[in-house]
């Protein structure tokens, strides 16, 4: 069973935002190893979890409730059901009230499941790099690889753990997974309209000519991105300029702790990205159609560990929130922010335009104007107080290699000299 995703938006009680931010930042610092855990203060023992892949907390503006109001974002990717995840989250948190007591509608840990279910948001598109991998399996394979290397023996060749029968069954499962995509298309048409679905499909694939079928479609239909309006960027690099709304009606989603133009993520194996943009009112159905197309591809056609050729994404979700007036992206990825955006722009340029051309402030030339596109993203990025990964040193490519080398071997399996699994 594929991992599940949870996104929760909860209003923060007025006056409690500063205290909550301090609590979350201390928890985040513990995860990063910047401070030692103080037993006297609230803590979330994420490493004790056996099912959470990634999790984050962030505090965002709540413009619909007032200029000084804030709301809490909690997002997680996990194995099992929502009920199991809620029970585990309660179990690994030392003081639920210190965190969730700052939120409107929260009563006690006993009612936490009902509270979370009431605020959980549906996703529009959800990509999972490895749909059949649990936290335990990823960790165990990584441990096997480290033990193997420590022994001085060469690692098994890629693909050595997969038999011919397993490969056949894998191809069969791919066909079964892909078959319902026709139903997905008709559902999208019924929900968003044929015109919006046609526009979404054409725009998404306009630069994806690496696939021969898409290349043929683009040639037959004359599908391509429109000519650039200018050969030059629409923004001048200015490291001292503050990030501000880029158009009338646009918003900075986290003005209390806004990212500066010179902000850079830590140079670590994994990072996270949270974006919130304002959707143009006339484009809400179009945005929904784009997400439906991405979701159908991600669930039905994407091979393990690759989203249209990008092999750095563990999980990514897009959601239309606040009655479809805002678009949120939540991504867990490998490498630096700059490299991540550059790879997106190189591999799925037209997909970026399809997603964010529906939002206010998007550059006139879209992601082809890379400096302007990066400023657009920075202006709508939300810093996270807490970011947790269950396997922080494992990249998507490393996980894929371990799958190929070790398959389902378990530690202590005699067939592998006590080191396989």
What pLDDT is recorded for position 158? 63
Q: Residue ranges of the alpha helices (H) in 179-251? A: 181-192, 194-205, 212-221
| Domains in the chain: ranges and CATH | 4-121 (3.30.70), 175-384 (3.30.70.100)
pTM of the model: 0.90
pLDDT (tens digit, 0 to 9) for every residue of the chain, 421 residues total? 789 999 999 999 999 999 999 999 999 888 866 555 556 789 999 999 999 999 999 999 999 999 889 999 999 999 999 999 999 999 999 999 999 999 999 999 999 999 999 999 999 999 999 999 999 999 999 998 888 888 877 777 666 555 666 666 667 777 777 788 889 999 999 999 999 999 999 999 999 888 888 899 999 999 999 999 888 888 766 656 677 888 999 999 988 765 655 566 665 789 999 999 999 999 999 999 999 999 999 999 899 999 989 999 999 999 999 999 999 999 999 999 999 999 999 999 999 999 999 999 999 999 999 999 999 999 999 999 999 999 999 999 999 998 888 876 554 443 333 333 3
For residues 61-85, b (16+ Cβ closer than 10 Å) or e, as one string?
bbbeeeeeebbbbbbbbbbbebeeb
What are residue 5's DSSP bridge partners? Answer: 77
What pLDDT is recorded for position 418? 33
* Residue appearing with tokens 């709540």: 62
Contacts 24+ apart (CB under 8 A), 396-399: 396/129, 396/305, 396/311, 396/312, 396/313, 396/314, 396/334, 397/305, 397/311, 397/334, 398/142, 398/145, 399/129, 399/130, 399/133, 399/138, 399/141, 399/142, 399/305
What pLDDT is recorded for position 206? 93
Could you tell me the two tokens for 182?
Answer: 């026709």
DSSP 8-state secondary structure symbol assigned to residue 78:
E
Q: Is 20 exposed, middle or buried (0-12, 13-18, 19+ CB in 10 A)?
A: buried
Region of residue 323 (phi > 0: left; psi between -120 and 50: alpha; otherwise: beta)? left
Could you tell me the two tokens for 113?
Answer: 């499941």
């Amino acid at each position: 069973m594929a991992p599940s995703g949870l996104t929760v938006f909860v209003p923060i009680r007025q006056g409690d935002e500063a205290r909550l931010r301090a609590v979350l930042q201390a928890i985040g610092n513990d995860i990063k190893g910047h401070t030692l855990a103080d037993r006297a203060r609230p803590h979330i023992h994420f490493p004790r979890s056996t099912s959470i892949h990634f999790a984050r907390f962030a505090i965002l503006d709540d413009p619909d409730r007032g200029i000084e109001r804030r709301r809490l974002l909690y997002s997680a990717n996990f194995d099992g059901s929502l009920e199991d995840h809620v029970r585990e989250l309660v179990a690994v948190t030392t003081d639920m009230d210190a965190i969730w007591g700052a939120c409107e509608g929260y009563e006690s840990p006993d009612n936490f499941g009902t509270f979370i279910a009431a605020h959980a948001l549906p996703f529009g598109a959800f990509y999972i790099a490895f749909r059949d991998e649990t936290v335990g399996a990823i960790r165990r394979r990584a441990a096997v690889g480290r033990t193997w290397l420590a022994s001085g023996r060469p690692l098994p060749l890629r693909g050595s753990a997969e038999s011919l029968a397993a490969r056949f069954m894998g191809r069969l499962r791919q066909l079964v997974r892909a078959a319902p995509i026709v139903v997905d298309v008709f559902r999208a048409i019924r929900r968003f309209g044929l015109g919006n679905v046609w526009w979404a499909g054409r725009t998404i694939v306009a630069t994806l000519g690496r696939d021969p079928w898409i290349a043929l479609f683009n040639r037959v239909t004359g599908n391509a991105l429109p000519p650039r309006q200018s050969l030059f960027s629409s923004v001048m690099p200015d490291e001292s300029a503050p990030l501000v709304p880029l158009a009338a009606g646009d918003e900075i989603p986290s003005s209390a702790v806004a990212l500066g133009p010179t902000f850079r993520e830590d140079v670590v194996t994994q990072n996270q990205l949270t974006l919130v943009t304002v959707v143009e009112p006339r484009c809400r159905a179009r945005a929904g159609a784009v997400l439906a197309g991405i979701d159908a591809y991600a669930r039905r056609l994407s091979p393990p560990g690759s989203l249209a050729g990008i092999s750095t994404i563990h999980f990514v979700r897009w959601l239309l929130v606040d009655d479809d007036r805002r678009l949120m992206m939540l991504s867990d990825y490998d490498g630096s922010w700059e490299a991540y955006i550059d790879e997106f722009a190189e591999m799925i340029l037209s997909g970026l335009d399809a997603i964010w051309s529906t939002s206010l402030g998007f550059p006139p030339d879209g992601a082809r104007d890379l400096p302007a596109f990066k400023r657009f993203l920075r202006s709508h990025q939300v810093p996270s107080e807490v970011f947790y990964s269950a396997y922080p040193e494992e990249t998507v490519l490393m996980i894929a290699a371990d799958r190929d080398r070790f398959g389902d071997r378990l530690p202590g399996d005699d067939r592998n000299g006590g080191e396989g699994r």
